[in-house]
């Protein structure tokens, strides 16, 4: 079986509804699947798991797919093992990873996704598909057992990647600076995914989707820009 992943920078882009901008890619990924398991663990508050699941359910209902929240199941591990597909939504990446460990679903998710179960992530859900969560933009509001994530791809991700504003007077670090700091101590590549962009993984083939280029960082090298259609498969050979 081949990996079947869709790693999306954000669940909504400016002027679009929840998952609207990536709906066609989601439908292509799911093909004839009729159900999907939703993992809402990333939400730290302000919206309950029930409300978050209802929002996701509405979006997937448009696509003819029935969605169930993992918190609604009696056994989270069994739910992952039996799922036709999995969607992990956005929120706080540290909280998400802590809950994946706490509910003992990290390893089952990894095993199922490696064997071809369709996996969709947005924002935090995309972060945890990478090697570690060391390049998330989120604050560490909780401490997970480890920063090691699902490792479905051999690189890290930075969803919601932002370029510096040319006329800004902000004196803090840019995203690029912070990723360069990460590379002082870590060697895996980092993909900066701008909002509206997504990565499609089929087996060991990696394709950039969406209207924008991605900014790719390799340890000790200048940052590079790759457009949709460019060959970025070298990232799948990282170690």
Q: What is the 3-state secondary structure (H, E, C) of the chain?
A: CCCEEEEECCCCCCCCCCCHHHHHHHHHHHCCCCEEEEECCCCCCCCCHHHHHHHHHHHHHHCCCEEEEHHHCCCHHHHHHHCCCEEECCCCHHHHHHHHHHCCCHHHHHHHHHCCCCEEEECHHHHCCCCECCCCCCCCCCCCCCCECCCCCCCEEEECCCCCCCCCCCCCCCHHHHHHHHHHHCCCCEEEECCCCEEEEECCEEEEECCCCEEEECCCCCCEEECCCCCCHHHHHCC
For residue 35, indicate whether it is catalytic. no
For residue 160, indicate whether it is catalytic. yes
**Which residue in the list 21, 71, 138, 197 is annotated as catalytic?**
138
For residue 123, indicate whether it is catalytic. yes
**Which residue in the list 11, 21, 71, 123 is annotated as catalytic?**
123
**Which residue in the list 11, 160, 183, 197 is annotated as catalytic?**
160
- Catalytic residue annotation: 123, 138, 160
């Amino acid at each position: 079986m081949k990996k079947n992943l869709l790693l999306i920078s954000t669940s909504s882009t400016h002027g679009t509804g929840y998952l609207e901008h990536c709906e066609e890619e989601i439908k292509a990924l799911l093909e004839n699947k009729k159900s999907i398991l939703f993992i809402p663990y990333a939400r730290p508050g302000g919206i309950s798991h029930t409300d978050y699941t209802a929002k996701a359910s509405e979006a997937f209902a448009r696509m003819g797919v029935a969605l169930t929240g993992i918190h609604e199941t009696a056994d989270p591990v069994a739910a992952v093992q039996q799922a036709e597909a999995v969607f992990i939504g956005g929120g706080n990446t540290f909280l998400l990873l802590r809950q994946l460990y706490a509910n003992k679903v990290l390893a089952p998710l990894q095993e199922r996704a490696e064997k071809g179960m369709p996996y969709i992530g947005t924002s935090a859900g995309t972060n945890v598909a990478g090697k570690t969560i060391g390049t998330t933009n989120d604050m560490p509001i909780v401490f997970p057992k480890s920063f090691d994530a699902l490792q479905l791809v051999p690189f890290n991700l930075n969803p919601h990647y932002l370029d510096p504003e040319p006329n800004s007077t902000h004196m803090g670090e840019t995203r690029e600076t912070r990723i360069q700091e990460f590379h002082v101590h870590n060697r895996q590549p980092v993909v900066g995914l701008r909002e509206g962009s997504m990565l499609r993984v089929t087996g060991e083939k990696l394709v950039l989707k969406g209207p924008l280029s991605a900014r790719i960082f390799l340890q000790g090298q200048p940052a590079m820009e790759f457009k949709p259609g460019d060959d970025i498969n070298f990232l799948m050979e990282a170690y």
